[in-house]
């Protein structure tokens, strides 16, 4: 199963259309979290779209998925790494009015060469990536630096 997520802030119809394109051509179940309340996603192939996903359900979907497809958000990359899942990223582009700047394009450039992270820009590229063997993203080791430990302690012990 593939879990696709556009994040929690703004819809990303170009990514969902690319996921739909892949679902129509590949024999795999895809669950997509869309957050889009205006766009109507008609079922095609084995694609199921849900507008919102509770954080616990999100983690369950990440754990159950073989592959994560996502916008190029750091939270999604961390989720995939924590679960040791391959992640395929589509960066939002400001020139397409998908975001206010190109920080996701920069994120994709920065992390795109890392083992377990793949990049796509449209449906045919997504199909191409999904038809080759993918390796999981290496797990993120907890940072136990004194700064991080102090911040965690402050947050967890705040009343």
What are the structure tokens assigned to 71, written together? 């916008």
Q: What is the mean pLDDT of each run of 10 residues along the chain (159 residues)?
A: 92 92 92 79 76 91 97 90 95 81 84 92 97 89 64 66
Contact predicate 130/120, CB 8 Å: no
Q: What's the pLDDT score for residue 113?
A: 87
The structure's pTM equals 0.83
Concatenated DSSP letters of the chain: -EEEE--SSS--HHHHHHHHHHHHHSS--EEEE---SSS-----TTEEEES---HHHHHHHHHH-SEEEEES-HHHHHHHHHTT--EEEE---GGGTSSSSSHHHHHHHHHTTSTTEEE-SSHHHHHHHHTS--PPPPPPPP---HHHHHHHHHHHH--
| Residue 139, domain extent | 2-157
Domain harbouring 127, CATH code: 3.40.50.2000
Concatenated DSSP letters of 72-100: S-HHHHHHHHHTT--EEEE---GGGTSSS
Q: What's the pLDDT score for residue 144?
A: 58
Tell the residue number behind the tokens 């191409």, with chain if given: 128
Q: Taking Cα atoms as reference points, which of 109, 102, 126, 101 lies closest to residue 4?
A: 126
Q: What's the pLDDT score for residue 101?
A: 79
How many domains does the structure of the chain reveal? 1
């Amino acid at each position: 199963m593939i879990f696709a997520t556009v994040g929690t802030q703004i819809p990303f119809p170009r990514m969902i259309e690319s996921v739909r394109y892949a679902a129509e051509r590949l024999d795999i179940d895809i669950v997509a979290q869309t957050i889009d309340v205006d766009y109507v996603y008609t079922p095609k192939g084995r694609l199921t779209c849900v507008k919102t996903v509770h954080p616990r359900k999100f983690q369950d979907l990440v754990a159950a998925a073989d592959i994560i497809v996502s916008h190029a958000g750091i939270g999604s990359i961390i989720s995939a790494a924590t679960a040791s899942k391959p992640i395929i990223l589509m960066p939002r582009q400001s020139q397409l009015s998908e975001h206010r700047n190109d920080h996701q394009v920069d994120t994709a450039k920065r992390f795109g060469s890392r083992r377990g992270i793949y990049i796509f820009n449209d449906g045919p590229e997504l199909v191409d990536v999904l038809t080759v063997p993918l390796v999981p993203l290496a797990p993120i080791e907890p940072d136990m630096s004194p700064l991080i430990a102090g911040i965690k302690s402050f947050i967890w012990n705040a009343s």
